[in-house]
Amino acid sequence: MTVFTQDWATPFGLPPFEQIKDDDFGPAFDAALAEARANIAAIAASPDAPSFENVIEALELAEGTLDRVAGVFYNLSGADSNDAREALMRDLAPKMSAFSSEVSNNKALFARIERLWQGRENLDLTSEQLRVLTLYRQMFVRSGALLEGAAAERLTEVKSRLAVLGTQFSQNLLADERAWFMPLAEADLEGLPEFVVAAARAAGEERGVAGPVVTLNRSLIVPFLQFSPRRTLRQRAYEAWGARGANGNAQDNRAIAAEILALRAERAALLGYKSFADYKLEPEMAKTPAAVRDLLLRVWQPARAKAEADAAVLEAMLQADGIEGPLEPWDWRYYSEKRRQAEHDLDEAALKPYLSLEAMLRAQFDCAHRLFGLEFRALEGPFYHPDVRGWEVTRNGAHVAVFLGDYFARGSKRSGAWCSAMRAQRKLGGEVRPIVVNVCNFAKGSPTLLSYDDARTLFHEFGHALHQMLSDVTYGFISGTSVARDFVELPSQLYEHWLEVPSVLEEHARHWETGAPMPAEMLTRLLAAGTYDQGFATVEFIASAMVDLAFHEGAAPADPMQKQAEVLAALGMPRAIRMRHATPHFAHVFSGDGYSSGYYSYMWSEVMDADAFAAFEEAGDPFDPATAARLERFILAAGGSEEAESLYTRFRGRMPGVEALLKGRGLLEEV
């Protein structure tokens, strides 16, 4: 018996983190995989006639121990990696892929699922059960269950290799991010606000360096690029940031990206699809590459026009400083910050003391209470890292979830921000409430002060967390965020809107030292600047989304970097803006299949989130109880129990147009 097969005598069934050692994971995975294989073999070989209970519900519970082990391990591997965990990740990638292929290639098992599907009209299934059966059959077919012989064998090989390459891509990127830093002399701190200086000193301590440093953590490098008057240092930092995964070293990701794209194209062809994009988009809301391109190009034109107009203003500011030549990418944030201060009288250094992490946590919890009646009670650790904090989530005294927050950047954590679940909600086999994790990469300070973008990230990830915590379905297969990729960002992007509600900031945006509320004129300027620099933000996003789509829509490019350049040239990419995620560090697309052909989904969801918040505005109250109840019932609680379009229509009464997005980004006047 191992720690993973024992009952956990911990509050709410939390993993006993202090008892779990890295050496436990390998044997635990081996045992859990063996158990899952035995359970699935028994389901496939059952002499009883197939029924929903002895096939689908049995499959739902067949991998219980494996889910338990993986729920802990993969969360730790992303948020607190080390050499042992990275080695096990590399070992597990082909093993987990092989297991997945064994299941999808099990002809006897698929035959039982197919019999259920063909006879579904006579099974007296609930709507949720029919949806689960439909999705199981779809998953098996899309995984190659209908293939035979050499084609089936080759698909297994392709998926195994893709799993290995995705892990390698992620680890290469983490290694590059962990290795690079730029020491700063005391003179190099000139012009930097105190919060940037403090973050740089803390980063130096974390790296074991005597003095401040700039790292590739977004929460440090972006404010450095905003405020440092030393152009040569900005250029050095920016180019290192853009070169992640493309440094010509052992961690170079360019060849890996090319191989991944070739294998994805082959995978799609084996399954009978015209392209990988056609394969990937089939179950999403967009359905086709043409629909994705149409959305992106409708937004691209006004966004590019706005960005080019902004670039002319910034370039004039650059030249007024006596600098010859054009505006460069490492100049944009610096002069944009100066322009923001001049036009909106909004200084981020003056703003951040009102946006402490503690204040913004209180704000996100308060909004969840006012909308959904949730309460948050702090829990004692230990959790998986000393930085992690925990809360019990309740409603009307009843337990809802455990929420863990891991907010600070460190060398063991991959970049970015994300939400995951160590345990998903379900009712089958007894009520199981979720354990949800939010991970961010804020620069640690005393206190930690957030930029407005950081605060939006905090709210964004908590929107994902609410989708997990408020899930109310029977089957784990469709719980929480188990929805179409271009629907999953709706709850997260929608929740960002409550950060813009004046009453929320009036209540919670308080100076970390004095407790004084944000001055009314500062709040007004902050909200008025809500669409500032949206040309830049929209262009850098759409460029990445268009490159992702182009990579997967036709034949796989032999040289992804050349293809990237061709796509950007065809778009007319402004020279002073680069892709938000260049190919060698485009983890969304190459660390796994999650967002491949799907990076557009943030914008697809934004079309809905702008319209969804308008429902509250039309009700005359951002916390309108009836609208919040519909949002919970049809979006947050429903998981994947219906098609995404059906769920949104039940909430809003109709599907939205792109105009709400353009208005929200301040681009409507450019159309």
348-399 confidence digits (pLDDT tens): 889 999 999 999 999 999 999 999 999 999 999 899 999 999 999 999 999 9
Q: 668: exposed, middle or buried (C-beta count within 10 Å: 0-12, 13-18, 19+)?
A: middle
3-state DSSP of 571-625:
HCCCCCCCCCCCHHHCHHHHCCCCCCCCCCHHHHHHHHHHHHHHHHHHHCCCCCH
- The DSSP string of 143-206 is TTTT--HHHHHHHHHHHHHHHHHHHHHHHHHHHHHHH--EE--GGGGTT--HHHHHHHHHHHHH
- Please answer whether residues 634 and 490 qualify as being in contact, where contact means their C-beta atoms are separated by less than 8 angstroms: no
pLDDT tens figures, 34-65 = 999 999 999 999 999 999 999 999 999 999 99
- Domain 353-485+501-518 CATH assignment equals 1.10.1370.40: yes
pLDDT at residue 347, as a whole number: 86
**Distance between terminal CA atoms of the chain?**
65
- C-alpha to C-alpha distances, 206 to 174, 213, 381, 411, nearest whole angstrom: 16, 10, 23, 8
What string of H, E and C letters represents the secondary structure of 484-547?
CHHHHHHHHHHHHHHHHCHHHHHHHCECCCCCCECCHHHHHHHHHCCCCCHHHHHHHHHHHHHH
Nearest CA to 598 among 581, 574, 576, 577? 581
Residues 355, 358, 364, 368: is their CA dihedral positive or negative? negative
pTM score, whole prediction: 0.93
Environment class of residue 187 by beta-carbon count within 10 Å: exposed (0-12), middle (13-18) or buried (19+)?
Answer: exposed
| Angstrom distance (rounded) from CA 89 to CA 456 | 31
* Beta-bridge mates of residue 517: 510
Q: How many CB atoms lie within 10 A of CB 503?
A: 11
pLDDT of residue 314: 98
Q: Name the residue type at position 338.
A: K
Distances (CA, A) of 419 to 78, 106, 254, 444, 464: 11, 32, 28, 19, 6
CA distance 432 to 423: 8
**Tokens of residue 12, six digits:** 């709410």
Flag residues of the chain having pLDDT under 70.
1, 669-671
Instruction: Label the pairing between strands 398-408 and 374-379.
Output: unpaired
Asked if residue 382 has a cis previous peptide bond (ω within 30° of 0), the answer is yes
**Helix count and strand count (H, E) for the chain:** 27, 7
Given this model, what pLDDT does residue 671 score? 38
Domain with CATH 1.10.1370.40 in the chain: 353-485+501-518
SS3 call for 437? strand
CA separation (Å) from 624 to 374, 491, 630? 15, 17, 10
- Which pair of structure tokens corresponds to residue 666? 């301040």
Catalytic site positions: 461
3-state secondary structure of 439: strand
**Can you give the pLDDT at residue 670?**
43
> Residue 262 carries which DSSP code?
H
